[in-house]
Amino acid sequence: MTNSRAERELALDFLRVTEAAAIESAKTMGQGDRKHSDHVAVEAMREVMDSVPMRGRIVIGEGERDEAPMLYIGEEVGGGNFSDEARAEFPEVDIAVDPLEGTNLCALGANNAIAVLAASERGGLLNAPDIYMDKIIVGPSCKGAVDIEAPVADNLKNIARRLGRDVEDLTVICLDRPRHKQLVADVRAAGARIRLISDGDLSAGISAAVAGTNIHALMGIGGAPEGVITAAAMKCLNGEILAKFVFDPERLGVDRTKVPPKEEAIERIKGMGITDPDKIYDTNDLAPGRKVIFAATGVTDGSLLRGVRFFGEGKRTHSVVMTTDNKSIRFVDTVHVEGGPDAVIRF
Ligand code: VTB
């Protein structure tokens, strides 16, 4: 991205992109078909993305080219309606998308499904493959106070000290998975409270970085792509994510057939330019971009964003758009009017 004006304008374009994905997937809420919910989000996101004046490239998307028809890694997006001359002037942008984070949440009508996108200049987002990462995420007051390799009790003590409260006053958010049995036991033993969630560690991680959500840290193993997108949000929110790839199926507690063998996973990350599989990544390693844009729209109601509401003459969406450039966090409440010139707009 070349200048802050382009960045500001792109931020609003990306807002349209996540709004469109959220609206389409929200229409399928509760239908119990997570693949369909995801599919409509991908289609809507892809279509609006093409109208954005940029030379975009997907770095985190729906999968490799042969497995995803749209928004696959390496796909060029944007500038669809413009001439080649005009396109040549557009900023080059790397894009990470999760058109529907929490496909199960949407399929069940549960809280905290979002449509999300992060962007930066070329090379500004780690091209993480779809494997697992151990993560710890905290807000601005706790930056530098946590260590992903330290005992859970030590991290909680440090977070409590920084927040000027007792460990008992903290809430840790964590994916409800068998792999977190020990983590959950450790948090309980330390005295902190826990919120176990069925899905969606990206929106949960963002809550951990925003004061007033009553979430003080996210801990545990989730997707690496979600980790990169969370890092983009952390850059804008002054929060911190520390993360490490996890390859061991025993530790993941998942079906061996679902995760690639360690050697294969390591080869995969090497192919993406990642040389040290045991590296501890911080926010800047995951999202090194100097200019980062993050946009998310609520699909179902959540702790930070409301879900899409439908009414006779339109729809209403709730989103957050943030940029590193002017350090603004915009919560955007949009009414999409459809009922023609006489449609009534309600406050
Ligand atoms: C993780 C997490 C996501 O899916 O990828 C999870 O980061 C899948 O984990 O936020 P499992 O393989 O253990 O089910 C989400 O929760 C939602 O996409």
pLDDT of the chain, 347 residues: tens digit per residue: 555 566 668 999 999 999 999 999 999 999 999 999 999 999 999 999 999 999 999 999 998 878 888 999 999 999 988 898 989 999 999 999 999 999 999 999 999 999 999 999 999 999 988 889 999 999 999 999 999 999 999 999 999 999 999 999 999 999 999 999 999 999 999 999 999 999 999 999 999 999 999 999 999 999 999 999 999 999 999 999 999 999 877 777 766 556 677 788 888 788 777 888 899 999 999 999 999 999 999 999 999 999 999 998 899 999 999 999 888 899 999 999 998 888 888 77
Model pLDDT, residue 8:
64
pLDDT value at residue 5: 60
How close is the Cα of 5 to the center of ligand 1, in Å? Answer: 35
Q: From atom 4 of ligand 1, which residue's Cα is the shortest distance away?
A: 199
Residues 6+ apart with CB under 8 A from 42: 21, 62, 70, 71, 99, 100
Q: Which helix (H) or strand (E) holds 133?
A: strand 132-138
**174, 201, 252, 254: which to mutate for ligand 1, most atoms within 8 A of CB?**
201
Pairwise CA distance, residues 88 & 215, whole Å: 44
CB 150 within 8 A of CB 129: no
How many CB atoms within 10 Å of residue 68?
15
Determine if ligand 1 sits within 6 Å of the CB of residue 177: yes
Helix/strand/coil for 41: helix
CA atoms of 106 and 112, how far apart (whole Å): 8
Distance 210 CA to ligand 1 centre (A): 21
Tokens of 14: 């990306």
CA-nearest residue for atom 9, ligand 1, is 222
Residue nearest to atom 3 of ligand 1 (CA): 200
Burial class (CB in 10 A: 0-12, 13-18, 19+), 130: middle
Q: For the chain, how many residues are written?
A: 347
Placement of tokens 């983590």 in the chain: 183
What are the DSSP calls for 190-242, one per residue? HT-EEEEESS-HHHHHHHHTSTTSS--EEEEEEEHHHHHHHHHHHHHHT-EEE
Dist. CA 202 → ligand 1 center (Å): 9
In angstroms, the Cα distances linking 190 to 146, 149, 154 are 15, 16, 9
CA of 122 to the centre of ligand 1 (A): 27
Neighbour tally for 224: CB within 10 Å: 24
Q: How far apart are CA 225 and CA 207, in angstroms?
A: 18
Domains and their CATH numbers in the chain? 4-123+290-337 (3.30.540.10), 132-286 (3.40.190.90)
Ligand 1 centroid distance, CA of 88 (Å): 38
Atom of ligand 1 nearest to the CA of 200: 10
Rounded CA gap, 13 and 1, in Å?
Answer: 14
Question: What angle, 0 to 180 degrees and rounded to 10, lies between the N-to-C axes of helices 201-208 and 224-237?
Answer: 30
79 lines ligand 1 (CB under 6 A): no
Q: For residue 198, how far is its CA from the centre of ligand 1 (angstroms)?
A: 9
pLDDT at 272: 76
Within 13 A of 249's CA, how many CA atoms are on the CB side? 12
199 lines ligand 1 (CB under 6 A): yes
**Cα-Cα-Cα-Cα dihedral sign, residues 103, 107, 108, 114:** positive
Pocket test for ligand 1, best of 100, 175, 286 (most atoms within 8 A of CB): 175
Tally of CB atoms within 10 A around 247: 19
Expressed in angstroms and rounded, the spacing between residue 49 Cα and the centre of ligand 1 is 25
Q: Which atom of ligand 1 is nearest to the CA of 98?
A: 18
Which atom in ligand 1 lies closest to the alpha carbon of residue 202? 10
| Residue 106 · residue 29 · CB < 8 Å | yes
For residue 125, the CA-to-ligand 1 centroid distance in Å is: 20
Measure the CA–CA gap between 149 and 101, rounded to whole angstroms. Answer: 27
Q: How far is the CA of 161 from the centre of ligand 1 (A)?
A: 31
